[in-house]
A and B are shown apart, each in its own frame.
Chain A
Amino acid sequence: MTKALAVLLLLLPSALYAQTLTVGSKRFAESRILGEIVTQTTTAVGEAHADHKSGLGNTGIVFAALQSGSIDVYPEYTGTITQELLKTKETLDLPAMNNRLAALGLAAGVPLGFNDTYALAMRDDQAQKLGIRTLSDLAKHPELKLGLSQEFLKRADGWPGVKAAYSLPFESPQGLDHGLAYEAIAGGQIEVTDIYSTDSKIAKYKLRVLTDDKHYFPAYDAVLLYRKDVPTRLPRTWAALQKLSGRITALQMIALNARVELQGMTPPVVAAGFLSGKTAPTEAAYPPGFWATLFAKDFWPETRQHLFLVFVSLALSILVAVPLGIWAARTPAAAQPILSITGLIQTIPSLALLAFLIPLLHRIGPLPAIVALFLYSLLPIVRNTYTGLTDISPSLRESALALGLPPLARLRLIELPLAARAIFAGIKTAAVINVGTATIAAFIGAGGYGNRISQGLENNNDLLLLSGAIPAAALALLVQWGFDLLDKAVVPKGLR
C-alpha cells in the first residue's frame, strides 16, 4: 500500500500539489535564467508544482501565453511593458503601469534590481578609428553596415524609434538572429548591431556600447509580469518571490549570462548556483563534453516529444490524406483543387504557419505544432495516393469492373492494394520530412530536439546545437529504415 503510494507519487509529481505555477521565459539566456530562478524559488516553497516553459518564444508569443493563461508569470522589462505591450509613448512608473495592466487581468512587480536597456554597439577598434562614441556620432556615418535582430527591427521601442530620434541615415538594415550577430560583427559582415546592456559578450568581442546621448531608450528594469490571481492563489510562493526584489545587480546579471553564453552552462544550473549563493561554479557545473550534452537527462523526454509530434501528426495526416487522394483520383473535377491546395500549404514557411496557428488555436505548445506538421504531411500522401490510384492500368480496372465487384470492394480489394506501394512511399516521405520540420516546433514551446537547436543557436553554443541536430538526423534515418522494413509487410508480395 505504502509502496504503491510512493510509486504513484514518484510518477506524478504534479499530483502532489493542488496548484501549479507555470513560468514562461523568452528565447534568450537572461530570460531563461530569470525564469529558472522564479521556478526554483517556487519549488523550494513547496506550495505549488512549478513548471518552466523555457524559451517559449519572443515577446509577442510569451505575452499571448500569459494573457490566455497558458503561463502565470514571466520575467519582463518595464520599457517593453509600456512601449510594446501597453503601446504608449509615456514613461510610466510601476503603479501607473499596474493601473493599466489591471484591465488585462495582469500586474507587474518585484523589480529584480537591474536595468537591461537596449543599446547599439560596434567594434571598439573601428569606433576608435571613426571617432564614434554616441548614437549622434553614428548619424554621420551612413556607410556603416547595420545588422539588427529581428525583434529589435520590428519593436516600436527599437529601430523605428531610435532611427527617428537620431535621424539615422540607414534605410534598410539587415535583419538577423541575435545569436549570430556577434560572429557577424567579429567577421566584419556587419559593423553595428543591437545589444542588451547586460550582454555577456560585450567584453569578449571587444565591443563599444554607443552612448544614448539623447536618452531615447527608456528604462528596461527587469520585473515579473504575472496574472493578478497569482499572489492570492499562492500567498506563500508570492512572499518568497517578492524577496527576489532588488537581489540582482546589472554586474551580477552579466556574470550569470556569461555562465550560460560563454561557459556553456545550462540556465537551471546557473539559477541554482545563484539561489544557493555560490558565485563560482561548482566542479559539476563546468560545461559537459559532447556525449554528456547529447545524452543529458532531457534526451529521452525530448526524443519522446519529438516522436510524439512526428507520429501523431502523421497518423492524423494519413486519416485525412488517403481519403483526399482517393477522392481526387475518383473525381477528376476535384483532383485539381485538392492537389493545388495541399501544394499551396507546402509553400508556407514553417515559422509563418506556426505564428499564424497560435492566435487561431489560442494556444502554444504541441497542438499548433501538430497541426502544422499535419498540414505539411498532406501533400506527399495525397499526391502519392492519387498517382498510385490513377496509374493502375485500364485493363486491370476493367477486369475488376467486369468481375461485378461493387465500387467499395474494388477500392478495398484491388485498387488500394495495387496503389499500396506508392501510398506507402508518400507516408514514408512525410514521416522523414516531419522529423526535420518538427525541430521548428521548439520555437513555440512544443519541445523535441528543436529545444537544443534553438538554445544552441541563441547562446552561440555549437555543442548544444549539434546535440539537437545530430539526433534529429539520426532519427530521420531510423524512421526511413523502419519504414523500409514495414514496406515488406505492407506492400503486397506480388508487387515486389
Chain B
Amino acid sequence: MIAVENVSKTYSGQTALAPTTLALAPGRTTVLIGPSGCGKSTLLRLLIGLISPDSGTVTVGGEILTPQTVEKRRHEIGYVIQDGGLFPHLTAAQNVALLARFLGRSESGVQERITELSSLVQLPADALSRYPNNLSGGQRQRVGLMRALMLDPPLLLLDEPLGALDPITRSELQSQLKDIFARLEKTVVLVTHDMGEAAYFGDTIVLMRAGKIVQTGTLEDLLQRPAEKYVTDFIRAQRSPLPPMPEAASEERN
C-alpha cells in the first residue's frame, strides 16, 4: 500500500538519497536505521511529501503522490516527530482535535475519540487541558501520538519519536508503543539510530548508509546473513555492554 520506486534526492549537489526502491509491508512495522546523514529521515519525509523527489515515484494507497494530491493524502498518514511537534498556543486536547475540527467533524465524536486515545496512550486526564510547555517530555510525545492517530489513519510515520526522552520514560514508552502498533494493525514506519530500538520494533529493518539501502530484512537476517561486513560492524558498534556496576556498599563509604 505504500512504496517508493527509484526515488532520489539531492541537496545542493550532495546526494541525500540515491535512487531507492522499497515496498512496505501493510500492517507491519518497518524501521529505517543508520548513522546520521544516511538518508533515513529524507526517505521518511518523502513518504509524507514534506519534500518532493528529484526522480522516481512515491505511491501511497495505490496512488502516486503529487503536489496536488499530497494534502488530502496526509489525512491518511499520522506523523510524529521528536518531542511531539505540538503547537505551543494550543492545549493538548486542542492540538489533538485541531485537524478534526478544521474538517468539521462532530464535536461529540471529537470528544469521544480524545477520551479513547488518551486511554490508549495512557495520558492522565488533567494533562489534556494543559499547554505543551506544562507537559513532561513523555506526555508531549503521547499527545503527539494522539494527534497523529486522531483520524485513525492506516499509516503511521515516526521520526525518532523517543529521541528526546530520558532512559526510563523511553523504555516505558517503547513497550507501550509496541503494544499500540500491534493492537491497531497500522502500517508503521519508524526512524531511529538506535539498534536496540530497531530490534525491538522492527518486523522489517532497513539499514541504510550514505543515501543507500544496505540491507532489508528481519533482525535474524541481519545477524545471520549480513549483506556485507558493514551490517555486522554497525550492529556490533551499537552493542555497548555496560561496565560492571559498582557495589552499593562501596559507594556509601565515599
Q: Is there a chain A Cβ closer than 8 Å to B35's Cβ?
A: no
Q: What would 6 A/B residue contacts be, using CB atoms closer than 8 Å?
A: A399-B86, A402-B74, A403-B74, A404-B75, A418-B87, A493-B131
> Interface with B: A58-66, A84-92, A172-180, A406-414, which one?
A406-414
10 residue pairs, one from A and one from B, having the closest CB atoms: A404-B74, A494-B131, A492-B89, A399-B85, A402-B79, A417-B89, A494-B89, A404-B75, A494-B88, A403-B99
CB contact list, B41-62 vs A, under 8 A: 48, 50
Give A400-435 as 1s and 0s: 1 = Cβ < 8 Å from B's Cβ atoms: 111111100100011001101000000000000000
Cα distance A21–B147 in the bound complex, in angstroms: 70
Shortest beta-carbon distance, A351 to chain B, in Å? 43
Q: Name the prevailing secondary structure of the A interface residues.
A: helix
Mask: chain A, 373-412; 1 = CB below 8 Å from B; 0 = not: 0000000000000000000000110111111111001000
> Which residue of B48, B90, B98, B131 contacts A402 across the interface (Cβ within 8 Å)?
B48
| Residue ID in chain A nearest B74 by CB atoms | A404
Does A418 lie within 8 Å of B88, measured CB to CB?
Answer: yes
Which of chain A's residues has its CB closest to B83's CB?
A: A395
**Inter-chain contact A494/B81, CB cutoff 8 Å:** no
A51 to B: closest C-beta gap in Å? 51
Q: Which of B115-143 contact A (CB under 8 A)?
A: 131-133
A418 pairs with B89, CB closer than 8 A: yes
Partner pick for A400 among B82, B87, B131, CB 8 A cutoff: B87
B83 / chain A contacts, CB cutoff of 8 Å: 395
Asked if B50 and A402 make an inter-chain contact with CB atoms under 8 angstroms apart, the answer reads yes
Q: When the two chains form their complex, are residues A405 and B81 in contact, meaning their CB atoms are under 8 A apart?
A: no
Report A-chain residues with C-beta under 8 Å of the C-beta of B48: 402
B192 beta carbon closer than 8 Å to chain A: no
Within 8 Å of chain A (Cβ to Cβ): is B102? yes
Residue B71 at the chain A interface, CB threshold 8 Å? yes
Closest to B71 in A: A404
Chain B minimum-CB-distance residue to A417? B89
Question: Which residues of A sit under 8 angstroms from B147, Cβ to Cβ?
Answer: 403
A319 lies within 8 A of chain B by Cβ:
no
Interface flag for A495 (CB, 8 Å): yes
Cβ contact of A403, chosen from B88, B89, B98, B131, cutoff 8 A: B98
Q: Which chain A residues border B79 with CB–CB below 8 Å? A: 399, 402-403
Count chain B CB atoms within 10 A of each CB in A399, A404, A420, A494 and give the residue with the most: A404
| Cβ–Cβ < 8 Å partners of B72 in chain A | 404
How many angstroms between the C-alpha atoms of A402 and B75 in the bound complex? 9
Q: Contact between A405 and B99 (Cβ–Cβ < 8 Å)?
A: yes
Q: Is the CB of A494 within 8 A of B75?
A: no
Q: Which residues of B contact A495 (CB under 8 A)?
A: 88-89
With A401-B50, A413-B102, A494-B133 given, is the CB distance from A395 to B91 under 8 Å? no
Closest to B48 in A: A402
- B82, B88, B91, B132 — most chain A CB neighbours (10 Å): B88
Contacts of B99 in A (CB 8 A): 403-405
Nearest to B72 among chain A residues (CB) is A404
Instruction: Check A494 against B85 for contact (C-beta < 8 Å).
Output: no
How near does chain B come to A394, taking the closest CB pair, in angstroms?
A: 10
Q: Is the CB of B91 within 8 A of A494?
A: yes
Residues of chain B within 8 A of A404, CB atoms compared = 71-75, 77, 99
CA distance A402 to B88 in the complex (A): 17
Nearest chain A residue, comparing its CB with the CB of B88: A494
A493–B87 CA distance with the chains assembled, in angstroms: 12
CB distance from A403 to the nearest CB of B (A): 5
Which residues of B, 78-110, contact A by the 8 Å Cβ criterion?
A: 79, 81-83, 85-91, 98-99, 102
Chain A residues closer than 8 Å to B98, beta-carbon distance? 403, 405, 413
Hey, what's the 0/1 contact readout for B209-240 against A, CB within 8 Å counting as 1?
Answer: 00000000000000000000000000000000
Question: A395 contacts B81, CB within 8 Å?
Answer: yes
Residues of A within 8 A of B75 (CB): 404
Residues of A contacting B91 in the complex (Cβ-Cβ under 8 angstroms): 494
A456 to chain B, nearest CB (A): 48
Inter-chain CA distance A468–B229, complex, in Å, is: 85
| Bound CA–CA A396/B86 (angstroms) | 7
Specify the chain B residue showing the minimal Cβ separation from A412.
B102
A494 close to B132 (CB less than 8 A): yes
B74 / chain A contacts, CB cutoff of 8 Å: 401-404
A189→B29 CA distance, assembly (Å): 87
A435–chain B nearest beta-carbon distance, Å: 30
A312 to chain B, nearest CB (A): 30
User: 6 new A-B pairs (CB below 8 Å) besides A405-B99, A494-B132?
Assistant: A395-B85, A398-B81, A405-B102, A406-B71, A494-B87, A494-B90
Instruction: Give Cα distance in the complex from A401 to B71, angstroms.
Output: 8
The minimal Cβ–Cβ distance linking A171 to chain B, given in whole angstroms, is 61
CA distance A109 to B3 in the complex (A): 94
- Give B99's nearest chain A residue, CB to CB: A403
B85 and A398: CB pair below 8 A? yes
Tell me the complex Cα distance, A418–B132, Å.
Answer: 13
**In the complex, what distance in Å separates the CA atom of A406 from the CA atom of B72?**
9
In Å, the complex CA distance between A132 and B3 comes to 102
With both chains docked as a complex, state the minimum distance between the C-beta of A319 and any C-beta of chain B, in angstroms.
23
Question: A399 touches which one: B77, B87, B102, B131 (CB < 8 A)?
Answer: B87
